[in-house]
Amino acid sequence: MLTGLLIVATLITKLFPETPLARSLHRALIEWPLARLAAMDRRHAIFVMILVGLVFGASDLLVMLGPADLILGFAWDVSIYADTLLAAAALAAVARSRIVWRALLVDALRRSNRPRARSRRTLRPRPLAPNANDADDGDGPAWALALAA
């Protein structure tokens, strides 16, 4: 039933936008709710989201709480708690990001003020003496150990 009424209202506003009925439907179904949403504060938006979540997901809790006043009070308490948690998380994120930005700034300043290193020379190996590998004299201590084995 409600779906049919919304379809009829949509058709009237789309097909006949200049009629007084279409203008009043547009004002009642679009302009007024958008104005209310624009005037809504953060805490009210959180309250509405929690209330919608309670209605759709916690029907047993709604039966236990009883009257609508208790349900709305419970939703308001939970929304204040959630708002406090979101504000604390945002402050913690800002504090951590400030620390990171300061560390990056200090690191960039250190790199820009650091004196440049000298270019390194490539070390060429010294040429060995022509007979450096020809140690066959036979009377060193290594020969004595080899003969003993």
pTM: predicted TM-score of the whole model, two decimal places: 0.48
Q: What DSSP character marks residue 17? A: T
Both tokens of residue 133? 């590998």
pLDDT, the chain, mean:
82
Average pLDDT, integer, range 86-93: 94
pLDDT (0 to 100) of residue 74: 87
pLDDT range class, residue 146, cuts 50, 70, 90: low
Q: How many whole angstroms separate alpha carbon 14 and alpha carbon 145?
A: 107
Checking if the pLDDT of 147 tops 80, the result is no
Among 38-42, 97-101, 132-136, the minimum mean pLDDT is found in 132-136
Distances (CA, A) of 92 to 79, 83, 98, 99: 20, 14, 10, 11
- Greater confidence (7 vs 112) lies with 7
Among 52-56, 94-98, 102-106, 140-144, the minimum mean pLDDT is found in 140-144
Whether residue 65 contacts residue 71, with contact meaning beta carbons closer than 8 Å, is answered with: yes
pLDDT (0 to 100) of residue 63: 81
Checking if the pLDDT of 37 tops 70, the result is yes
Burial category of 48 from C-beta neighbours within 10 Å (exposed 0-12, middle 13-18, buried 19 and up): middle
pLDDT range class, residue 57, cuts 50, 70, 90: confident
Residues in contact with 72: Cβ distance below 8 Å, sequence separation at least 6, in sequence order: 51
Nearest Cα to 79, choosing from 116, 41, 39?
Answer: 41
Tell me how crowded residue 118 is: count the other CB atoms within 10 A of its CB: 6
Whether residue 62 contacts residue 71, with contact meaning beta carbons closer than 8 Å, is answered with: yes
